[in-house]
Structure 1
Amino acid sequence: MDKRFFYLLNKARHRVYKHADQRSEEALGISVTQVGALLLVAGDEGCLLKDLAHSLHLNSSALTGLAGRMENKGLLERRTCDRDGRASRLYLTDVGREKIESAKPLITELNNRMTDGFSDEEVTVILKFLNHLANDF
């Protein structure tokens, strides 16, 4: 059994992301990053573009491109911020809301696949470990 945490974590992240992205493209016609962006906007409708960039760990230019592609697909709408004309706020469209609903079974499927073969206690330990990494580094 390989015991190289950093290597395994990086390899696992890459493979899970690649698999999820492929499944998302097949099932929904959008990338897994776009699904994540839709879910974040849904949780904070009218959020600033820069706040979404921060949440997705993307630089501003990368998020500008992502938002443009999503806007072209009719998933979201950018509106100028009332308080700062240089800033943009993001809003879901009806198509974006439909994609979120369509994504829910896929998200459940992916979570089930990742936890398949593990007991509830083991999943709790894995979640504790992942939360530790996500919050303490």
Structure 2
Amino acid sequence: MNTFKDDTLGSIFFQVMRLHHIRSHTLMGMQKIHRGQPPILGLLWDKDGRTQKEISEELHLQPATVTVMLQRMEKSGLIERRSDSEDLRISRVYLTDKGKQIKDNVEEAIKRLEDECFDGFTIEEKLLLRRFFIHMRDNLLKVSEYKEI
């Protein structure tokens, strides 16, 4: 079955998610980062020195997933982990200079993706689509283990 010939609502939604994923991967790759890293970077750009637990909770990710992501980011020189000065059992995550310097480029790539996705949409259409997405999100939250995103 060719999913791009299937025009059911569910199939089209899957196609959009898949194409968004691929394009995001491409744009983030141009910045030399993995597509899943911008949310962590965003948290640290907002407040540097968060704990791994805070990052996991804020992004609703399993601690093991965050560990792997942080290891990759540390290896690429975007972040460093340091012990908390008051409690050595706690590890805090800090941006390196490299992690701070890519902020504008990553935000520009995210904006580019949004512009590409919504090219040709009127303001009214964007508002309506936003309303539909919120409704879908809320429907899924009702049946999800998460109660907030």
Describe how 1:36-47 pairs up with structure 2 within 5 A.
36-47=39-50
Cα distance in 1 for partners of 2:101, 2:122 equals 33
Cα distance in 2 for partners of 1:13, 1:88 equals 35
Q: Is the 8 A contact 2:23 2:113 kept in 1?
A: no
Residue equivalent to 2:23: 19
Runs of 4+ in 1 over 4 A off after TM superposition: none
> Residue type matched to 1:4 in 2?
L
TM-score (norm 1): 0.83
Structure 1 unaligned blocks of 5 or more: none
Cα distance in 1 for partners of 2:40, 2:18 equals 19
Structure 2 unaligned blocks of 5 or more: 1-5, 142-149
Question: 1:134 aligned to 2:137?
Answer: yes
Cα offset for 1:86? Answer: 3.1
Higher helix residue share: 1
Question: 1:108 aligned to 2:111?
Answer: yes
Cα distance in 2 for partners of 1:44, 1:52 equals 11
Describe how 1:25-64 pairs up with structure 2 within 5 A.
25=29, 27-64=30-67
SS in 1 for 2:48: coil
Cα offset for 1:135? Answer: 4.6
How many residue pairs get aligned? The number is 135
Change (3 A) 1:17 1:59: same
Measured against aligned partners, the alpha-carbon deviations of 1:78-115 in whole angstroms (never above 9, x if no partner) come to: 12234543332211111001111111221111010111
Residue equivalent to 1:92: 95
SS in 2 for 1:19: helix
Larger radius of gyration: 2
Q: How big is the alpha-carbon RMSD for the aligned residues of Structure 1 and Structure 2?
A: 2.1
Change (3 A) 1:134 1:40: farther
TM-score (norm 2): 0.77
Cα offset for 1:64? Answer: 0.7
Change (3 A) 1:64 1:116: same
Cα offset for 1:13? Answer: 2.1
> Percent of counterpart pairs with the same letter?
27
Q: Is the 8 A contact 1:48 1:90 kept in 2?
A: yes
